């Protein structure tokens, strides 16, 4: 098995492990995003880094409606608009209930740091 080598895993597996807090997977996300990567990898990198840089690349790669929705939701997460994230995520999850990254964003993950809450 390659549990200690997330760079050999499919992007969706690395994203899943990064969502779970795996430090090696989070590092792999950053490395993959630096050289391109899938829309999910680029969105995850943007959320982890709290910046738009990778979202612009994700938008450029987003060819499907689903991918464009994921990028839009991430932009609203980074903008701190929880109400819009909730509404867009609900719509997205109706059609794509297996979208772990959108469910994660809808649950409040990826919010800008220092933005209130306890």
State if pTM tops 0.75: yes
**In sequence order, which residues have a C-beta less than 8 Å from that of residue 77 and are 6 or more positions away?**
47, 85, 105, 110, 111
In a domain, 1, yes or no: no
Q: Which pLDDT belongs to residue 7?
A: 47
User: 90-107, pLDDT tens digit by residue?
Assistant: 999 999 999 999 999 999
In a domain, 113, yes or no: no
**Overall domain count for the chain:** 1
**In sequence order, which residues have a C-beta less than 8 Å from that of residue 91 and are 6 or more positions away?**
69
Q: Which pLDDT belongs to residue 82?
A: 93
pLDDT 10s digit of each residue in the chain, 118 long?
A: 334 444 478 999 999 999 999 999 999 999 999 998 899 999 999 999 998 889 999 999 999 999 999 999 999 999 999 999 999 999 999 999 999 999 999 998 766 654 443 3
Supply the range of the domain harboring residue 82.
6-106
Q: Which pLDDT belongs to residue 9?
A: 85
In a domain, 85, yes or no: yes
In a domain, 116, yes or no: no
Q: Which pLDDT belongs to residue 89?
A: 96
Q: Which pLDDT belongs to residue 52?
A: 86
In a domain, 56, yes or no: yes
In a domain, 114, yes or no: no
In a domain, 49, yes or no: yes
Instruction: Provide DSSP, the chain.
Output: --TT-GGGS-HHHHHHHHHTT-HHHHHHHHHHHHT---HHHHHHHHHHHTSSHHHHHHHHH--SHHHHHHHHHHHHHHHT-HHHHHHHHHHHHHH-TT-HHHHHHHTTTTPPTTSS--
Q: What is the 3-state secondary structure (H, E, C) of 54-76?
A: HHHHHHHHCCCHHHHHHHHHHHH
In a domain, 117, yes or no: no
């Amino acid at each position: 098995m390659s549990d200690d080598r997330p760079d050999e895993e499919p992007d969706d597996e690395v994203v899943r492990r990064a969502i779970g807090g795996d430090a090696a997977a989070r590092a792999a996300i950053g490395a993959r995003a630096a050289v391109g990567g899938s829309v999910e990898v680029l969105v995850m990198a943007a959320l982890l880094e709290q910046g738009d840089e990778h979202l612009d690349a994700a938008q450029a790669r987003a060819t499907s409606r689903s991918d464009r929705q994921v990028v839009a939701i991430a932009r609203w997460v980074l903008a701190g608009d929880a109400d819009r994230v909730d509404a867009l995520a609900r719509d997205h999850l109706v059609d794509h209930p297996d979208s772990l990254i959108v469910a994660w964003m809808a649950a409040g993950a990826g919010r800008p740091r220092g933005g209130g809450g306890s």
